Structure 1
Amino acid sequence: MSLHFFTVKKLEDLKRCFPVMRELRPHLSYEEYLLIYQEAQKTDGYEIVAVESGDQILALIGYRFLSDFVRGRHLYIDDLVSTESARSQGLGAKLLIYAEEIAKQNKCKVLRLCTGVENERGVKFYEKNNWTKRAYAYAKKIG
């Protein structure tokens, strides 16, 4: 299988990525997806890198660069998903390596992400790929 990694720039590619993103974020409508992408891209430089074989998107990663007093400049991964049919083929691991290279090129020393406590499969995946649990993330709904 020949794989092609690319940064999504065109609306047609963003549209092709939506079914894959929806596997991770099933609550999103296409309209919400576009609006959130456009806002995150504009304010935080959010990018999506997709992996395709032929004309089929198999996996994607969404990331942005953040700076804070704890980690300095770092790459934050918001989204990482493979299609159900492409899982356990190493695409997620390849995307993490790809993100690490992007982080190095952009003078980051740390990559960060959060996953839900109920995501046992994800936790095992990250630990298998040499990620370390470092914090608890809290959220509080308002309104």
Structure 2
Amino acid sequence: MLTMQELDSKQELAKLHIIAQQLRPHLSQEEFIERVFAQKEKMGYRLFGFLLDNEYIGMCGVMPFEVLYRTQCLYICDFVITDTLRGRGFGAISLSLIQKWAKEAGYKELELSSSFPRTAAHHFYECKMNYDKTGFVFRKML
């Protein structure tokens, strides 16, 4: 059975780093842990691990997203299932757990962004999880 657990300690985050690297390969374990704690403090970030038989198989980082055009919105920053288990239903179960948690916490909607090369993820969000594609994200380095 797949379960979800919020991660709060450096030891728990260290165990999850190998999965985080599949989504954020530029982060060392130390940087990953530092950034999680900094975002928790500054942005209300929360990180959940998904466990199957007491082993982490995925993670989801979320934070409140309150702006002029969104209220009661939870932003999914980091969602990944370990590459060896993708396509076997664990992503759908994991995202459903996050959706249930968000609804119980009082959120009315979820939002996320996904880079262009991640076409399999786009298919998953739109076709399997019924997310609406609402626009593009633009960025400029300064």
Shift of 1:53: 2.1
Partner of 2:73: 74
Partner of 1:130: 130
Q: Given the two structures, how large is their TM-score scaled by the length of structure 1?
A: 0.92
Partner of 1:53: 52
Q: Report the secondary structure of 2:8's partner residue.
A: coil
Instruction: Please provide the CA RMSD for this pair.
Output: 1.2
Partner of 1:139: 139
- Tell me the distance in 1 between the aligned counterparts of 2:63 and 2:8: 15
Partner of 2:12: 13
Shift of 1:138: 0.5
- Tell me the distance in 1 between the aligned counterparts of 2:88 and 2:48: 17
The runs of 4+ residues in structure 1 deviating greater than 6 Å are none
- Tell me the distance in 1 between the aligned counterparts of 2:48 and 2:88: 17
Shift of 1:49: 1.0
- Tell me the distance in 1 between the aligned counterparts of 2:2 and 2:112: 24
The one-letter amino acid paired with 2:114 is: T
- Tell me the distance in 2 between the aligned counterparts of 1:131 and 1:49: 20
The one-letter amino acid paired with 2:7 is: V
- Tell me the distance in 1 between the aligned counterparts of 2:95 and 2:118: 18
Equivalences, count: 141
Which consecutive unaligned segments of at least 5 residues does structure 1 have?
none
- Tell me the distance in 2 between the aligned counterparts of 1:96 and 1:53: 14
The one-letter amino acid paired with 1:6 is: Q
Q: Given the two structures, how large is their TM-score scaled by the length of structure 2?
A: 0.93
- Tell me the distance in 2 between the aligned counterparts of 1:4 and 1:95: 8
Matched-pair contact (CA < 8 Å) for 2:10–2:33: no
- Tell me the distance in 1 between the aligned counterparts of 2:50 and 2:102: 18
- Tell me the distance in 2 between the aligned counterparts of 1:39 and 1:45: 9
Query: How high is the sequence identity, in percent, across the aligned residues?
Result: 26
State the Cα deviation string for residues 92-134 of structure 1 (Å, max 9, x = none): 1122212212221222211000000121111111112101100
- Tell me the distance in 2 between the aligned counterparts of 1:101 and 1:4: 13
- Tell me the distance in 2 between the aligned counterparts of 1:123 and 1:72: 24
1:17-56 aligned within 5 A: 17-56=16-55
The one-letter amino acid paired with 1:46 is: Y
